[in-house]
């Protein structure tokens, strides 16, 4: 039997008959792995038409056959000049509509926990580019296609967006910056029916994110200062990508139509510390 994330044994929800995404178009960045893949699967199961982008190949076996007709994958590195505009152009051309309902900015990379005394220029530029500049460019690119009908933008930030004790200085600055982009966009465009919110996942999500650390530059001293803070999450703190995906789906939907400009922790109370 072919893979189906609608099987009862799977952690993702059963096929739904609710029309939450019917006739709606979504762009999801970082769709090939982790939270982006779980969000893509969930949106497709709710009838969205999805354009997914990632710099790595996607395993089509992870997309239910019944959903593949509403899924278009674009392989591209979003830091390349013009690439964010290109994704939006492809999405509009693919579905033949002059509108985009949802942008989920999920692609991101981790730093090497380097603090301000040892970070490299290369790491700073790479992390700020992927985690802050790219989502902001994506927002700029989709806005013209949200102004007529409204839309929902969800930025995946992190506990590191509100804490100085969760990652290195580059990742921390990038995620703090992303909250500024979220709030600025929410206020500027709220009269046009465009919402912009952020989610702040905790740190124990089992994804490919750890593989993006540049091991050669790993800052043991900085990491050592953070281990006790991470440990406060407790042994049962682990969060699944699909739990984050469900929150993104909610913020994208009309159920959240009055929610704009928030930063929502998904961390089993770690965020209160
Ligand atoms: N995993 C966690 O514990 C955790 C915690 C808090 C926040 N986050 C955030 O969640 C988001 C998703 O991360 P994840 O944990 O699913 O990691 P992941 O590595 O599994 O997924 C990230 C995806 O983004 C893609 N990507 C990275 N740079 C790209 C680029 N330049 N162009 C196109 N695609 C690119 C990767 O190829 C990958 O498929 C990130 O923004 C991350 O900062 C993750």
Indicate the Cα dihedral angle 34, 38, 40, 41, nearest 10°.
140
What is the pLDDT, as a whole number, of residue 105?
Answer: 98
Q: Is the confidence at residue 272, as pLDDT, over 50?
A: yes
What is the pLDDT, as a whole number, of residue 18?
Answer: 60
Active site residues: 171, 175
What is the pLDDT, as a whole number, of residue 207?
Answer: 82
Residue to mutate, 36, 57, 263, ligand 1, most ligand atoms under 8 Å from C-beta: 36
What is the chain's mean pLDDT, rounded? 92
Mean pLDDT, residues 78-84: 98
Spatial CA neighbour of 265 closest among 273, 255, 257: 273
Q: Is the confidence at residue 69, as pLDDT, over 60?
A: yes
Dig out the tokens for 63 from the structure: 């997309």
What is the pLDDT, as a whole number, of residue 3?
Answer: 56
Q: What is the pLDDT of residues 235-252, one digit of tens each?
A: 766 889 999 999 999 999
Q: How far is CA 164 from CA 122, 125, 137, 222, in A?
A: 21, 19, 26, 11
Q: What is the pLDDT of residues 83-133, one digit of tens each?
A: 999 999 999 999 888 999 999 999 999 999 999 999 999 999 999 999 999
What is the pLDDT, as a whole number, of residue 19?
Answer: 78
179/203: higher pLDDT: 179
pTM score:
0.94
CB 135 near ligand 1, within 6 Å: no
For residues 205 and 240, is the Cβ–Cβ distance under 8 A? Answer: yes
Which residue owns the Cα nearest ligand 1 atom 23?
30
| Cα dihedral sign, 52-57-58-60 | positive
CB 33 near ligand 1, within 6 Å: yes
DSSP codes joined into one string, 57-114: ---GGGS-GGGGGGEEEEE--TTSTTHHHHHHHHHHHHHT-S---EEEE---------
Report domain extents, the chain: 25-272
CB 52 near ligand 1, within 6 Å: no
CB 259 near ligand 1, within 6 Å: no
For residues 174 and 127, is the Cβ–Cβ distance under 8 A? Answer: yes
Which residue owns the Cα nearest ligand 1 atom 25?
30
For residues 74 and 52, is the Cβ–Cβ distance under 8 A? Answer: yes
**Residue 240: how many CB atoms within 10 A of its CB?**
16
The runs of H, that is alpha helices, within the chain are 34-45, 83-95, 121-128, 134-142, 169-188, 220-231, 241-252
Give the single-character DSSP code of 173.
H
Q: What is the pLDDT of residues 41-66, one digit of tens each?
A: 999 999 999 999 999 999 999 999 99
Residue to mutate, 28, 29, 35, ligand 1, most ligand atoms under 8 Å from C-beta: 35
Dig out the tokens for 240 from the structure: 């699944």
CATH topology of domain 25-272: Rossmann fold (3.40.50)
Work out the pLDDT band at 1, boundaries 50, 70, 90: very low
170-179, 206-215, 223-232: which range is least confident on average? 206-215
What is the pLDDT, as a whole number, of residue 13?
Answer: 55
Distance of CA 27 from the midpoint of ligand 1 (Å): 15
Mean pLDDT, residues 165-189: 98
Provide the CB-side half-sphere exposure for 45 (13 A, CA): 22
């Amino acid at each position: 039997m072919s893979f189906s994330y609608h099987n009862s044994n799977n952690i993702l929800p059963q096929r739904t008959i609710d029309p939450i995404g019917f006739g709606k178009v979504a762009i999801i960045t970082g769709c090939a792995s982790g939270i982006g893949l779980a969000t893509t699967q969930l949106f497709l199961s709710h009838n969205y038409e999805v354009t997914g982008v990632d710099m790595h190949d996607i395993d089509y076996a992870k997309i239910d056959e019944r959903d593949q007709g509403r899924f278009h994958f674009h392989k591209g590195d979003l830091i390349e000049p013009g690439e964010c505009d290109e994704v939006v152009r492809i999405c509009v051309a693919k579905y033949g509509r002059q509108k985009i309902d949802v942008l989920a900015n999920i692609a991101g990379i981790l730093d090497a926990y380097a603090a301000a005394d040892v970070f490299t220029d290369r790491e700073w530029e790479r992390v700020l580019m992927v985690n802050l500049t790219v989502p902001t460019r994506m927002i700029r690119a989709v806005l013209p296609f949200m102004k007529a009908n409204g839309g929902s933008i969800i930025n995946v930030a992190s506990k590191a967006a509100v804490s100085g004790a969760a990652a290195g200085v580059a990742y921390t600055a990038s995620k703090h910056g992303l909250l500024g982009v979220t709030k600025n966009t929410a206020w500027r465009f709220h009269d046009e029916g465009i919402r912009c919110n952020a989610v702040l996942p905790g740190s124990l999500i089992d994804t490919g994110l750890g593989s993006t650390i540049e091991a050669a530059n790993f800052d043991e001293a900085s990491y050592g200062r953070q281990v006790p803070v991470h440990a406060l999450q407790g042994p049962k703190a682990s969060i699944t990508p699909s739990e984050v995906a469900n929150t993104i789906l909610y913020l994208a939907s009309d159920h959240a139509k009055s929610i704009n400009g928030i930063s929502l922790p998904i961390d089993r109370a770690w965020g209160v510390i």
